[in-house]
Amino acid sequence: MGVKLASERPGFSEMEDVNFTDSELVYHVRDALRSVTLGDSNSYNELIGVIHHTEYLTPDEVALLVTSLKALSGAVSCIDIAHHDSLLSSIFRMSMWSYGPDVMDALVELIISLAASSGKYIDSCLDMLVSNFMPPHYFLALLKQPRGLARKDQVLHRVHSALRDIADLVPLAPLRLLPIILQKMPNVYSKEPMIVIYVENMLRLESGAMGELVGSMILCAVVDRLIDLDVEIEWEDILQDDFSKGIFEMELEDVEETLDDDEQEGDELPRESSSWRRFRGNVVAEKLDSLLVLMFEHLRSCNDVGRLSNVFETLLQSFKQTVMKAHKSKFSQFVMFYACSLDPGNCGVRFADILADIFTGSVSPPDVRMSAVAYLASYLSRAKFLPASFVVNILQRLVGWCWKYTESQDGDINPDAHRVFYSGCQAIMYVLCFRMRSIMDVHRMKSQLFLMPVEALLKHPLSPLKVCLPSIVEEFLRQAKAAHLFTVSETFVFNDLLESEHSRAFGGKERLDMFFPFDPCLLRKSDRYIRPNFVYWSMVRTTYDDDDEEGSSDEDVVDGFMGRSVENIAGDAMAASFEEHDLDLDEFDYSMNKMSITPKNSSNFRFGSELYGSAMRMPSRIRPSTSPESL
C-alpha cells in the first residue's frame, strides 16, 4: 500500500529504486510550490496528501513523509502564506505524538525553518509546538503505559529543544510565546491528564533556558489555575457544620469516622483519614491535588539547583495578588508552605516577615491585613521547621503593634471598629496555644515572652478576650494559667462554643475570625509532601500537659512545666519533641484511633492534647486530684 503518485514526476515515484540528493528533492518541492501560482496544483496536492496521511503508516510511507518534510524545510522561502494556505494548515495541525522519532525530527526541522524564515509564521509555529504539549485524546490512555511514556519523552524533548532553537534564531520569540502559552492553557473543566501534562510543560519552560524571560508569568499563571480549581471546591465538601466542636477538636473528627468505616469495610482498606475518603470522588479536588504535587516537585528541583529564592519572590508576588485576594483559599497556599519548608532560613523567614509587614503596615485595607495575620498565625503554628525563637520575635512585633494600638484608643469593646486589632490579638493567642510550651521551656524565650505586655493587652477595656473566638480564648487562658503567664479574675464561661456573636461581628462578612488557612491539608497526594513539616494539634505539648507518657503521677502535672528542665529539649524545642513522635503513617493513624476511647463531650479534654500517648488511661484531671491546681 502506498500513496498514489503521478508517474511523470520522477522525484516522487518508485522511491526504492531512485536515489536523489537532498538538493534535488528540495528543487522538486520548490517546483511544486511555484506551480501552484501558475495554476498547476497536482504535485502540490500530492504533497498535502502525504502529510495528511497519519494512520498505520508503512515504513515506505514513513520514509516518504520524512523526505517530504525535509525537502519542505529547504523550500520554506517559496512558501507563500496565501497560495499555500492548505499546506500550511496541514503542517500546523500535525501532532508529533502520532509519529515515530524520524518524522518528529523532520517535522521539527521544518517548523524551525518556517519560524526563522519570516515573521508571518512565527505565531503559528509557536502555536503548533505548544499544541504538542498535549497528546491527542486517543493517546491519553496510553500515557500510563511504558510505551506511552517513552513516546511522551521523545515528543516533549523535541518540542522544548525546538522552542529553544527558535528563540536562538528569533530573539523576540519568547515574547510571542508567552501569550500563546497562557491562552492555550486548559481550563478547569478539562480532563485531569491534559491539565497535568500542560502544566508540567509550563514548569519545564520555567526551569529551562527561556526561564528568565517567561518564568515569572508562567508561575503566576499556574498559581492562578490552582486558585481557579480551589474556588470550585465547595466548603460543604470539607466541613461538617458542627460548630459545637472546638476548633482543635476538629482534627480529631477523622478518628471517630475511621473507626466506624473500618468496621464496615474490613481490613483490606488502608487506614486513610475519612476526610480523604470524602474527596475521593471529587474530580476538581483531584486535579488540584495533582497540580499541587507538580508544583511541589518543581520547587524541590529548583531548590536542588539553588534557584529557589528567585522563584520564591515570584511566588510571593503571586501569593499577594492572587491567593490572598481569593476568598478563603483552601489548599493553594500550601505551595508557599512547601517552598518555605524547603528553605526555612531564607524563604521561611521571609514569608512570615512579609505577612507581618502587611499586618503592621497601614497601606493595605483592613480585610487584607486581617487575612494576612490569619495566614501568619496559622503558618507560625503549623510550620515545624520554624524555630521557636523566630516565632517569639514575630510575636513581639504583633504584640508591639497591638499594644501601640491600645495606647491610642480609649474606647470600649467594639468588634467592628477594631477588627484589625482583634484579629491581631486572636493571632497572638492562637500561636501561643501551639507554641507556649516550647517557648516556656527555654529560659531566654520565656523571659522574652514575659516581658511582652500580653496580660495588659488582653485585659485592656477593648476586651479582646470577649471578642475573639471562644475556643481559642479558652485554650489560651488555660495554657497561660498553667504557665503562670497570667490569670484572669473573672471566669469566662463559653459553654463549648466555637464562635460567639462578638467573634462573628469582628470576623465580618468573610468570617475572617474563623480563617485558619494552614489547617491540615485534606488533599491526599499533596499531604504527603506537607506532613513531615506539619504540626498537628495532637502533637502539641501544652503547658498543662502531662509530660511523661509512661505512668506519671499527679504531682508531675504541676512539676511538668516548672520543674522540668530542658532535659531533652534542644534549642529548637518543637523539633526535638517531635522526634519521638515521628512515626510512620500507619502507626500514627493507629495511635490516633486510640484517642476515640476518651469521652468526646467533656469540656475538659476538648483539645485532646493530653490524649496522645496516654490514651489508654484516664487523664489525671478526672481523678481526684491532689495537685495544687485543684486547691
Q: Cell numbers at residue 411, please?
A: 474606647
Cα separation, 5 vs 3, whole angstroms: 6
Residue 122 sits in the site that holds another protein (CB under 8 A): yes
- Cα–chain center distance at 334: 4
Q: Cell numbers at residue 615, please?
A: 490514651
The phi, psi pair for 534, rounded to 5°, reads -110, 145
Cα separation, 17 vs 279, whole angstroms: 63
Q: With respect to another protein, which residue has the nearer C-beta, 77 or 301?
A: 77
Cα separation, 317 vs 330, whole angstroms: 19
Closest listed residue to residue 468, CA positions, set 534, 515, 537, 435: 515
Residue 466 sits in the site that holds another protein (CB under 8 A): no
Residue 415 sits in the site that holds another protein (CB under 8 A): no
In the complex, least distance from residue 121 CB atom to another protein, rounded to whole angstroms? 10
Cell 523532520 sits on residue: 106
Q: Cell numbers at residue 221, please?
A: 499563571
Q: With respect to another protein, which residue has the nearer C-beta, 119 or 179?
A: 119
Among residues 11, 12, 25, 26, the one that binds another protein under rule CB under 8 A: 26
Kindly identify the residues of this chain, within the stretch 40-99, that bind another protein according to CB under 8 A. 74-77
Q: With respect to another protein, which residue has the nearer C-beta, 24 or 556?
A: 24
Closest listed residue to residue 373, CA positions, set 397, 389, 339, 393: 397
Concatenating the DSSP letter of every residue in 188-251 gives: TTS-HHHHHHHHHHHHHHHTSTTHHHHHHHHHHHHHHHHHHHHHHS-HHHH----TTS-HHHHT
Among residues 171, 532, 571, 628, the one that binds another protein under rule CB under 8 A: 171
Among residues 23, 58, 244, 346, the one that binds another protein under rule CB under 8 A: 23
Residue 445 sits in the site that holds another protein (CB under 8 A): no
Among residues 50, 65, 170, 386, the one that binds another protein under rule CB under 8 A: 170
Q: Choose the binding region for another protein from 163-171, 372-380, 411-419, 479-487 (rule: CB under 8 A).
A: 163-171
Kindly identify the residues of this chain, within the stretch 1-20, that bind another protein according to CB under 8 A. none
Residue 162 sits in the site that holds another protein (CB under 8 A): no
Cα separation, 476 vs 432, whole angstroms: 7
Q: With respect to another protein, which residue has the nearer C-beta, 125 or 569?
A: 125
Among residues 2, 10, 101, 119, the one that binds another protein under rule CB under 8 A: 119
Q: With respect to another protein, which residue has the nearer C-beta, 14 or 212?
A: 212
Angle, CA 369 vertex, CA 366 and CA 372 arms, to 5°: 150
Angle, CA 392 vertex, CA 388 and CA 394 arms, to 5°: 120
> Do 227 and 329 contact (CB within 8 A), yes or no?
yes
Amino acid (1-letter code) at residue 162: A
Q: Choose the binding region for another protein from 116-124, 131-139, 487-495, 583-591 (rule: CB under 8 A).
A: 116-124
In the complex, least distance from residue 362 CB atom to another protein, rounded to whole angstroms? 13
Among residues 172, 239, 451, 562, the one that binds another protein under rule CB under 8 A: 172
Helix pair 211-232, 283-305: axis angle to 10 deg: 150
Amino acid (1-letter code) at residue 149: L
Residue 299 sits in the site that holds another protein (CB under 8 A): no
Among residues 41, 95, 98, 117, the one that binds another protein under rule CB under 8 A: 117
Among residues 60, 153, 168, 234, the one that binds another protein under rule CB under 8 A: 168
Q: With respect to another protein, which residue has the nearer C-beta, 129 or 170?
A: 170
Residues interacting with another protein, by CB under 8 A?
23, 26, 74-77, 113, 116-120, 122, 168-172, 175-176
